[in-house]
Amino acid sequence: MISGSLLTLSGQVVQQVLKSKSRDRVVGFGGGIKLKDVRGPQPSRVELQTKLNVANKQNEVLANCMEEVQAENNEMKERVILVESRMKMFQDALVSQLNVTIPTSQAGSEMQK
């Protein structure tokens, strides 16, 4: 059994160490969950720099791939424009040879088929 004077003495020591009777803080003594238990070990500066370098290299590779895909996309668009213009020329030649008029709504639906 702990005597009352010992409790008041330990309370005074704690009060002197903490120097605050504020109720907005929680103070724990001893074991329990610590910040490093929740977050894990903090990486060193070298590890962080290594991760940053790897991420930068990956970004460069992805940027190069994106440029290649954009170039290929532009080439495909040019080819589609060329095919459409040739199709229009072929259609005009066919119409002039057969002396037939093709309504624009039918020509568009026939091209889609």
36 in a structural domain: no
pLDDT in tens, 53-109: 999 999 999 999 999 999 999 999 999 999 999 999 998 888 888 877 767 765 455
For residue 54, is it within any domain?
A: yes
Instruction: Give the pLDDT confidence score for residue 62 in this predicted structure.
Output: 97
Q: By CB neighbour count within 10 A (0-12 exposed, 13-18 middle, 19+ buried), where does 102 fall?
A: middle
20 assigned to some structural domain = no
**Residue pLDDT, tens place only, 31-49:** 777 777 778 888 899 999 9
Residue 58 maps to a domain: yes
Give the range of the structural domain holding residue 72, as residue numbers without chain letter.
44-103
- Domain assignment present for residue 76? The answer is yes
What are the pLDDT digits (tens) for 8-25?
666 676 666 666 666 666
Q: Are 105 and 81 in contact (CB under 8 A)?
A: no
Report the number of distinct structural domains present in the chain.
1
